[in-house]
Chain A
Amino acid sequence: MAERLATLVGIYALLGLGYQIVFGQLRALNLAQGALFGVGAYATALTGPQLGPFALLIAPLAAAAVAALAAPPMLRLQSHYFALATLALASLINLVAVNAENLTGGANGLVGFGLGLPKGPTLAALVWLVLVVAVIAYASVFRAAIGEKARLLRDAPLVAASLGVDGALWRFLAFVIGGACAGLAGGFSAALTGVVSPEATGFSIMLLCLTAVVVGGARHPLGAVLGAAVAVLLPELFRGLQGSWLLAYAAATLAVVLWAPEGLAGLFTRRDAMPIPLAAAPVSAARRLALDHVSKRFGGVEALRDVSFTVERGEIVGLIGPNGSGKTTLLNAISGLARADSGTIALDSLHLERLAAHAIARRGIGRTFQAPIEGETRGAGLARALATGAAFLLLDEPAAGMTDRERDLLAGQLRGLRRDRGIILVDHDVELLTRVCDRLVCLDGGKVIASGTPAEVRADPRVRASFLGLPA
């Protein structure tokens, strides 16, 4: 009896651990995890008669295969469509389990598939061995750098892309590996009970998985284990309650969401600040960033018109212009967050226009954003961009909201960074730009209306009229 409970805790913990990767780390609301558990259970039951205990290996493969086949169109979807698509996939799997009687035995399910695996202590030991290895692997993967990138992917996907994180690949891997964990858990469950019925693919398994992970702690390495222990052991303790334990468990889940978002595991761990490794020198060898006739339209608005200029390593180019003149759009076009409609953007001889944002970041272009991520200090964005080893930095209003003293400090930092980097600096503070920039480029209505030394640009009559608000 105790072995059986321990085995069950291990099985649901494995299911939940897989879910932590996709839901906890990437905040993707995958509602097919329960159905993938069922896929694993059926795969084991169907291949058990031929393969014996090796049928357990088929379980994660089958679930991963279903996940990998379904993933490519689904992973492009935004959160609510992703949840719906995974729910539709789960419903489809459940329909097959109920109705494909020749394969799945219909509502009666499958029984009598001997795996030739001794149940009891052997199975319990096997499940827990796999679980311990998986928990250790999870904990070591999501410690430090990868965990920090996952956090950025959750909280600030654009920043993650600007640091070279390939979000699509991450989501694919998380979905498939998480699905494989679910499949293996399903296989173990088939081995434990000796019965597989459509219930294994039903929404109640999904609900159990989701609530266990939320209650235990969605990201903590022991979150799923704790949650599964509560989910399996509580109803045993309160057998007298019969059906009401589900009610109590659902209420507990709601309470955890409201008052302890990090789950049970979060109650007795404190959050350590993640050290961000700062590369001392740029890694990229690129010498020159050149824009040639870059144009971009949004509907009827010409956000950029034939913008051309170059930035060499060792110089700071200030980008000025009134609000809406295209400054941020230009930074987005260079860093790949917006596609230029025409023109070329080249790093030495490498064309960037067709590359994805993460690929551009990996070639040596780092950037910061106007709005800071909640809970971060002001310098964090710049530190992150530097940590990529970028040779070129695109800084979007780094001085916004700074005091004069902070601006002086920033100017000093920028001069230091210029030694071996090229910088494009967007800001409204023309005094600051004049002090630190080698050249200024002034945009108006998406066009370059002036460029040259700060003194030349500030003296330009059109710049004085359109941007500085001074008489020409």
Chain B
Amino acid sequence: MLITFQLVLNGLALGMAYALVALGFVLALNASGAVNFAHGDLVVLGGAVAVLLASWLALPGFLLLPLVALALAGAGVLAAHVAILPLARRPPEATFVATIALAAIIEQTLTVTMGAAPRTAPPFLGSGAVTIAGEPLGLQPLAIVIVGAVLVAALWFLLERTQVGRRMRAVAADRHMARAVGIPVRRYVTLSLALSGALAGIAGFLLGHQFLVTPTQGAGHMLKAYIAVALGGWGSVPGALIGALAIGIFETFVSAEVGDAWASAALYIAVLLVLTLRPRGLFGEPLGQRA
């Protein structure tokens, strides 16, 4: 295999986009204590909103991004109120099933409104390439890596250095204790879902230029995030980041060598092997038993 800078950059970009998906997934997971199966469809929805906005407004991609983030934050809040908060006292499987239904609702709505044909989301800066040190590098993958890195740093700052982030972590660690010390848990669950939706939307926007936007992609995005979080340690934010980067780089290199089908097969087999050998994920669980 010829390892070029472009291939490395593509791997990093895919990994960074997956990381945004996985970080949103883990924020929602920690806030609600349950898997949000509709998370992948929020990613697709982000791509679709970007396509729609680009057709209405003649704005460059980097100005569309905050609008997409805002719209999907709203979608996250809606998801929290429809499928997560009402089921807080029920077994986690109830949320799982409710969000599976929500995923189907989003997918079918998109199929009905935009049709099954793939659409192209606008690029963040442009769709060309820049030449750095004699190497042509795609503008979009470069933009994904940079935007992703900025967002990851911002998320780290929010969670580790602000009172809001501390409270979000408190809700994640023990919702009953958090409530006992006066944290309005429902409000923080809603906030987490808003952030989660915004990250999903941005990821969908960034992925939608190279990989197009198709209503049926949601389950695939969700599965990647799910795998990243399970491998990285259930509930661990840095684990999700590392897991997603690893999956993106793995997929890019393996599919460049042996094709997409084998890359996916290798990923699924790796997941089954890891769960067989380490039933609590590669790095264990930071928060103990949860579902």
Contact = CB atoms under 8 A, between A and B. Distances in A.
Given A83-B35, A207-B104, A254-B82, A91 B268 contact: yes
Contacts of A373: none
B108 interface: yes
Nearest to A246: B108
B61 interface: no
B231 to A, nearest CB: 10
A78 interface: yes
Interface stretch (A69-77, A413-421, A423-431): A69-77
Interface stretch (B177-185, B200-208, B246-254, B271-279): B271-279
A250 B96 contact: no
Interface stretch (B11-19, B47-55, B87-95, B135-143): B87-95
Interface string A354-365: 000000000000
Nearest to A244: B112
A243 B101 contact: no
Dominant secondary structure of chain B at its interface with chain A? helix
A29 B93 contact: yes
B101 A87 contact: no
B263 to A, nearest CB: 10
A285 to B, nearest CB: 38
B94 A243 contact: no
B264 A95 contact: yes
- Chain A interface size, under 10 / 10 to 19 / 20 to 34 / 35 or more: 35 or more
A251 B101 CA distance: 7
Given A83-B96, A250-B101, A257-B94, A243 B275 contact: no
A85 B275 contact: yes
A92 interface: yes
A411 B261 CA distance: 68
Interface residues on B, range: 35 or more
B291 A80 contact: yes
Contacts of B230: 80-81, 84
Interface stretch (B2-10, B69-77, B219-227, B236-244): B219-227
A79 B92 contact: yes
Contacts of B86: 258
A210 B104 CA distance: 12
A99 B219 CA distance: 19
Contacts of A80: 35, 92, 230, 234, 290-291
A82 B227 CA distance: 12
B269 interface: yes
Nearest to A154: B91
B97 A95 contact: no
A249 B108 CA distance: 10
A95 B260 CA distance: 10
B100 to A, nearest CB: 6
Interface in A51-106: 70, 73-74, 76-81, 83-85, 87-89, 91-92, 95, 98-99
Nearest to B267: A88
Interface in B122-142: none
Contact of B104 (A76, A77, A98, A246): A246
Closest 9 CB pairs of A and B: A250-B104, A73-B276, A247-B108, A254-B101, A253-B101, A88-B268, A88-B271, A79-B291, A257-B98
Interface of A: 27, 29, 70, 73-74, 76-81, 83-85, 87-89, 91-92, 95, 98-99, 203, 207, 210-211, 214, 243-244, 246-247, 249-251, 253-254, 257-258, 261
